[in-house]
Structure 1
Amino acid sequence: MKNELGFFPTPYEDEDFRSLTYRYHIRSGNLNITKTIEELFNIKTHRLAHFPRNLDYLAERLPEKLFLTTDYFIANHTLLALFLPFLSLDEREKILVEFRCASDRSEIGTRLLSPIVSTLVRYCPTCLIEDFERFRECYIHRVHQYNFVTVCPVHRFNLVTHCPKCGAPLSDSFGRFILMEPTCSCGHYLGDGRRVEVESPTQIQLFNEQLARDVKFVIDNVDKLNVEIFKEKMLRLYSHKGYLASQGMFINTKFSKGFLGLFSEEMLQTVGLDSIYLSNRTALKVLNFNGRPKNQLLHILGMEYLSQSVKGFISSEFTTSPFGAGPWSCKNTYCPDYNRFVIQGIKVVLTKKLNIFLESLLVLAVA
């Protein structure tokens, strides 16, 4: 049994794990962050990484009264929450092993960070003020730290990485300092940088706000979502929206025209996407849930296009299929039920032959 820690901060709602570590650091009396990281994770590094490692080592040493586990930290306080629902079980386990255990060489950063996670910590000015008033300290909100989230999903204010008055950075990429008060290093009050509400927001503002809300929905429901749910919902919506041909092939041209018609070039540029890149085989890039690490932004935009929001996508219920409503007649000439309507259900098989995402559907007879 490892020596139990004398204390550990109680996590705040949606608090990034870097913030938790830093709050422990300033209470510990350690002279530098390197000592704190070694103390908590048994890892020697001078950098407070975006993705923590060796969480099992920490969880085993936490005061029992906190009831905090590795799985709890991963789901509620790490940036991995946006990635997990889109990964296959095998990919999930490979990545989770690196979070739970220590390793000399981690591939988490190179596989997941770019272009998803912001290098510098992002803050909502109103969150800073409200958190300080409530807790007497500020903390990093996890939902703000993804590159394509440019506004706060709660307050709708633009996120900041530097002081609007003097340009001083509000953090560094090594995590050696994090805001604990709503002021920059020069003493400027960050609450003055809040955006004034406008009566008629632009389409780009509405686009960014919806995207922020959808990211929040995914990370808040990480334990309820998985890639199989996404596949099943996507296939039904393909068919319902008329993007699936009767033989099971995806109508890419139709989807591409509609998708790029909804999301303008300017909208896509604000989140680092290029319409020229997307115009080629749009469906495969946006909607191919193959369970491997991809750009989650594209998947989220695909859900928004089909159902206006990720929440709407998940709650959608359609029973349509490329073959219409059942029952269906048997087309096997060797079957005694040939041409009789005996097939009561279908099983969908997703393949990727010849670069076709949805290449075939298998119809099964039900006894």
Structure 2
Amino acid sequence: MSNIISFPTTFPDEDFRSILYRYHLRSPHRSYLKNRKELLGKAYSTMVMYPENLIHVINGLGVSEEFIINLIDNHTFYPLFRPFVNKDLHNTITNVFYNSSGGLSMKIKTLENQFLSNSIRYCPTCLNDDYERFGEVYAHRTHQFSFLTVCPIHETKLVYSCSHCDIPFASSNANLMLTEPKCPNGHEINENTKEWMDTNKYEFLDDIKALMSYNTLTLNYVYQQLMVRLGNRGYIHFKGDTIFKKDLISDMVDYYGKEVLIELGLNVNELLRVMPSLFAPDDLRKHTIFYILLMRFLSGNTENFLKQDETYFFPLPFGNGPWVCNNRICPQYNQRVINICRRKVHEWITGYFTCNYCGMTYYRKGFPHLEDETLFSIETMGALFINQATKYINKGYTITQTAEFLRSNRTTVRKYLKLYKKENESNLLTINQNNGHKEILQGKLEVAVTDNNSKLELCKETVLEAISILGKRANRPQIRKYNIHRYDWGMKHDRTWMELHLPPKRKLPKMLNLESLDDEMYQLVSAAVDRLWENPPETKITKTSIFKTIPSFVQNRCYRFSEYLPRTIHLIERSLETDDQYLIRIFPKVVKWFKESRYKNLSLKLIQNGFKMYKKSSLTVIQWLEDQIDQINSS
């Protein structure tokens, strides 16, 4: 095998494929494959995007390892992908760079496809400048990013074929490239088509350059920085086990705009489809564009993301105490006398607080809910409340009077008397026999039972009243809506009576007749749509609005058997309210607001400021609004 005689001087931002071709031009061998074998130790017939077996170059030229590192960092695309591959893959790729041959292109093929153009491209202005400066031309690494259509320096349109004869400037395997500012057929490449380059593309290119300039970045560091910033901005569940990916993607779309993301090579629909695979701690290489854009979204740009240190910490829910007692009959009411908080972690954090003076335990919801000391729920009223309630009952007070003394309500007093009776009945009877109070206590407890019976009778009367008013065709859900609390109370305490007086449960057929299903669903939905449009809601009429007015099984069938319900689905679709229809329908509300306001003249801007939905009005609605405004102002 022939020895390597010389290596071409590398140019600023030169693509490695260009270096390899210029080596071929300087070699005495006319065979391109032979030159590749001479330089890299193997006769590659396909395009060589990355150097392999560079130990052959080191031994053949006697160059230092620093020369090889410079070749990889400044003339290949690997520095862009390096921060997103795990340590094992990085070591494998590095080993191929130095010691192996073959297989490297397959290992990072998925990385290239995200960013690089299929054809080698040139900037006509750069071609002429390079030829004048160096005496030869070369392919710039930056020009190969697929999201760029113009040169970022000259804003000249990038080209890959001759405008005269349409011949490509470079072959598919890069064994033929430009040597001067002329196409292979000799036509001058002097196109000077100027195109404006979007600011987003400049910023994205700056992010890429910043990322490529750090040769010590690792996947572990990038992943940790992502997690810290996502946590600080509320995109990670407080338990740390869930990333709110859908919210994050939605916010990024709002931040950049869907069209901008598509221009930069990020397909939002595809991203949503592969959402479960995002943020794999050992592999970020499959969605490199997303992660680079995420860095800008989180920190302003990639440079800030890599340089600025942030610390992610989670504040202690409910603080360090002490906390207030909320029992109104406690001698320490509204005083900070509770020193212990038991925190329970589930979908949110709940704090439990027990007062040692009265025994009351209450709890509050914490993160991610807003912490507010005035919002709490009582778990148990405690010993003081039960003792006081028992004392008042023993003295002959009614439950209503007892509830007033304890600054509570009848339901709560009954609840704790019932618990007290259940747990202490045998002891109370023994103690009170000696004191002659057995009859009094038992009598007061019987009053509570009598009250329950009275409430049950009231519930029954309410159910009968609902049946009478709603008619015999009313179903159980409709009767329950008449008074949910009394209906549920009746079902709990006397289900037998309820079953005798309520209409029978509607049984759904075990087997659906798919042939007649469309007609049945059409009638139900049609009636619901008519009712909805007769008395439309204040909000826009959507599928949800329609389905809220009909039994839930109709919605389930519309989703499960949509292919069998063409008429029904069509009816739902044409019954939906468009944005224009909605804005026109609620205009009387705007007029009413204007007449009650201090404004003298109505204008489109005034409407849009007062009613934000009008800011997205179509041209048709705007013209209609202007006509209405003229009529109102002239009247």
Matched residue, 1:80 = 78
Q: Tell whether 2:277 aligns with 1:278.
A: no
Deviation at 1:80, TM superposition (A): 1.6
* Distance in 2 between residues matched to 1:290 and 1:155, nearest whole Å: 40
Matched residue, 1:356 = none
**Which one of the candidate residues 256, 262, 267 is aligned to 1:263?**
256
Residues 87/109 of structure 1: CA separation in 2 closer, same or farther (3 Å cut): closer
Deviation at 1:209, TM superposition (A): 2.2
* Distance in 2 between residues matched to 1:62 and 1:230, nearest whole Å: 36
TM-score by length of 2: 0.46
* Distance in 1 between residues matched to 2:300 and 2:281, nearest whole Å: 19
Matched residue, 2:172 = 173
Q: Tell whether 2:211 aligns with 1:218.
A: yes
Instruction: Confirm or deny: 8 A CA contact 1:152 1:212 kept in the other structure.
Output: no
SS in 2 for 1:122: coil
Q: Which has the larger radius of gyration?
A: 2
Amino acid aligned to 1:324: P
Deviation at 1:102, TM superposition (A): 3.1
Identity of aligned residues (%): 28
SS in 1 for 2:43: coil
Q: Tell whether 2:235 aligns with 1:243.
A: yes
Deviation at 1:127, TM superposition (A): 2.4
Deviation at 1:220, TM superposition (A): 2.7
**Which one of the candidate residues 284, 288, 294 is aligned to 2:286?**
294
Deviation at 1:243, TM superposition (A): 1.7
Matched residue, 2:15 = 16
139-148 or 38-47, which moves further after superposition?
139-148
Instruction: Confirm or deny: 8 A CA contact 2:114 2:289 kept in the other structure.
Output: no
Matched residue, 1:55 = 54
Matched residue, 2:308 = 316
Amino acid aligned to 2:167: A
Amino acid aligned to 2:36: I
Deviation at 1:292, TM superposition (A): 5.3
* Distance in 1 between residues matched to 2:189 and 2:203, nearest whole Å: 25
Correspondence 1:1-367 to 2 at 5 A: 5-64=4-63, 69-103=67-101, 105-106=103-104, 107-108=106-107, 110-196=109-195, 198=196, 205-221=198-214, 223-248=215-240, 249-280=242-273, 282=275, 285=278, 287-291=279-283, 293-321=285-313, 323-324=314-315
SS in 2 for 1:246: coil
Residues 218/123 of structure 1: CA separation in 2 closer, same or farther (3 Å cut): farther
* Distance in 1 between residues matched to 2:275 and 2:14, nearest whole Å: 35
* Distance in 2 between residues matched to 1:216 and 1:126, nearest whole Å: 21
Instruction: Confirm or deny: 8 A CA contact 2:169 2:177 kept in the other structure.
Output: yes
Amino acid aligned to 1:278: L
* Distance in 2 between residues matched to 1:226 and 1:305, nearest whole Å: 20
Instruction: Confirm or deny: 8 A CA contact 2:265 2:289 kept in the other structure.
Output: no
SS in 2 for 1:192: coil
Q: What does the per-residue CA deviation read over 1:238-266, in whole Å, with 9 as the maximum and x for residues that have no partner?
A: 13322223222322332122111223332
Deviation at 1:282, TM superposition (A): 4.6
Q: Which has the higher contact order (CA 8 A, sep 6+)?
A: 1
225-234 or 170-179, which moves further after superposition?
225-234
Instruction: Confirm or deny: 8 A CA contact 1:143 1:216 kept in the other structure.
Output: no
Structure number with the higher helix fraction is 2
SS in 2 for 1:83: helix
* Distance in 1 between residues matched to 2:299 and 2:163, nearest whole Å: 37
Residues 3/170 of structure 1: CA separation in 2 closer, same or farther (3 Å cut): closer
Amino acid aligned to 1:263: Y
The size of the alignment, in residue pairs, is: 320
* Distance in 2 between residues matched to 1:157 and 1:325, nearest whole Å: 56
* Distance in 2 between residues matched to 1:253 and 1:5, nearest whole Å: 54
SS in 2 for 1:193: coil
* Distance in 2 between residues matched to 1:290 and 1:14, nearest whole Å: 31
* Distance in 2 between residues matched to 1:75 and 1:175, nearest whole Å: 21
Residues 339/238 of structure 1: CA separation in 2 closer, same or farther (3 Å cut): farther
Matched residue, 1:358 = none
* Distance in 2 between residues matched to 1:104 and 1:245, nearest whole Å: 44
Instruction: Confirm or deny: 8 A CA contact 2:18 2:138 kept in the other structure.
Output: yes
Deviation at 1:92, TM superposition (A): 0.2
Deviation at 1:312, TM superposition (A): 2.4
Instruction: Confirm or deny: 8 A CA contact 2:170 2:176 kept in the other structure.
Output: yes
Q: What does the per-residue CA deviation read over 1:64-92, in whole Å, with 9 as the maximum and x for residues that have no partner?
A: 4x876433322222222211121222110
TM-score by length of 1: 0.76
* Distance in 1 between residues matched to 2:7 and 2:203, nearest whole Å: 35
Unaligned segments of structure 2, at least 5 residues? 321-338, 342-635
Unaligned segments of structure 1, at least 5 residues? 330-337, 341-367
The root-mean-square deviation of aligned C-alpha atoms, in Å, is 3.1
